[in-house]
Amino acid sequence: MLPRTGVSKQDIREHIWDYMESQNLADFPRPVHHRIPNFKGSYLACQNLKDLDVFARTQEVKVDPDKPLEGVRLLALQNKKTLLVPTPRLRTGLFNKITPPPGATKDILRKCATSQGVRNYSVPIGLDSRVLVDLVVVGSVAVSEKGWRIGKGEGYADLEYAMMVSMGAISKETPVVTIVHDCQVVDIPEELLEEHDITVDYILTPTRVIPTGCERPKPMGVTWSKISREMMEKIPVLRSLRAREQQAGKDVTLQGEHRHPPEPGRQQTVPWSAGRRPQDTPGPEANSMEAACGSPLGEGAPLAADVYVGNLPRDARVSDLKRALRELGSVPLQLMWEGRRHRAFLRYQDAAAAQQAISCLQGLRLGTDTLRVALARQQRDK
């Protein structure tokens, strides 16, 4: 039993990690410190999910990429559920939808359930994708029978949940399940819980199925005041979501920032047409884009700003870039495609919108290539 006076979340984490290693309960990868710990018997614990009515009713399930949840991912694929797995640390997007090849054998499904399989047999799912998740399965370092959960301390499971709420993929009625070893079920003082912490409705161990009956409210969206500027820089999809919520008039003040009131009359929707920059001579590729996507802005259009996108792969298509822009929430007013020169130009309504787009697009990859993104004027100066 953990001491209740003055205990911290990190104290509980260290206690669980040390105990699992010292008692040889941990499984690969080891040591389990600073991880969602894998444990001997994790597959057995995962099989208990079949006994829950919520799993039988589920069509679409989100399962974290942690090793002890591999059995749940396999179970979902074997039962022909739509399986969504968050991208590691949200670096390249929000979800991957696992898509086994037609006629996949059990061995292939097992590979699809692994971290390597998630990379090899998946398609990205962005903020614009219409998903409706029926069940959420998360890993934990510690959990109480009341449904209070402690993760490894980086906050990604809490953030993923909050982002799913914001994009309408889940509601407060969506059940949350966690898979742990029996030794990870401990007392957690209520005063350690924070507003952004998710709670769980079911705990599955190798020996027990524990309905928690937890009534503590789950997060109803991203708590921006808890998000640091450093985290924003690391997670492009989070920057995109913030831009959307800012356009919708929500308070998106980050940790350590001064609050700014929303701008009156802020433009919320931008029609996507394609055109050319005034200083460019249109070529056949620009004309084909105008024919496909619409005519350019007229002479009376407001002052706009252009973003240069370079290092496009040789086999890249304009549809690939448009899809990526939609998923990141960075749709421009115009797009001029210069595929033969491995570049494109994006027009936004003003310099602030262009800078926001550059922030969102940093680190964007098409295929194996990372794109270069900058203000068009800065690129010309170089």
- pLDDT tens digits for range 327-381: 777 888 888 888 888 899 999 888 878 887 887 788 788 877 788 899 886 544 4
pLDDT score, position 296: 37
What is the number of residues in the chain?
A: 382
Q: Which of 182, 147, 141 is nearest to 41 (CA)?
A: 182
The share of the chain scoring above pLDDT 90, in percent, equals: 39
pLDDT score, position 260: 53
Write down the CATH number for the domain with range 305-375: 3.30.70.330
Q: Which residue has the higher pLDDT, 28 or 88?
A: 28
C-alpha–C-alpha distance, residues 108 and 127, integer Å: 29
Q: Which residue has the higher pLDDT, 292 or 347?
A: 347
Q: How confident is the model at residue 143 (pLDDT cuts 50, 70, 90)?
A: very high
Q: Give ranges for CATH 3.30.70.330 in the chain.
A: 305-375
Average pLDDT, the chain: 82
- CATH value of 9-211 in 3.20.20.120, 3.40.50.10490, 3.40.640.10, 3.40.50.10420: 3.40.50.10420
Distance, C-alpha 117 to centroid of its chain: 18
Residue 138: C-alpha distances to residues 87, 110, 176, 178 (Å): 14, 19, 7, 5
- Does the structure show a pLDDT above 70 at 4? no
- Does the structure show a pLDDT above 50 at 112? yes
Q: Give ranges for CATH 3.40.50.10420 in the chain.
A: 9-211
Kind plus residue range of the DSSP H or E element containing 204:
strand 202-204
pLDDT score, position 278: 34
- Does the structure show a pLDDT above 90 at 138? yes
pLDDT score, position 290: 33
pTM: 0.66
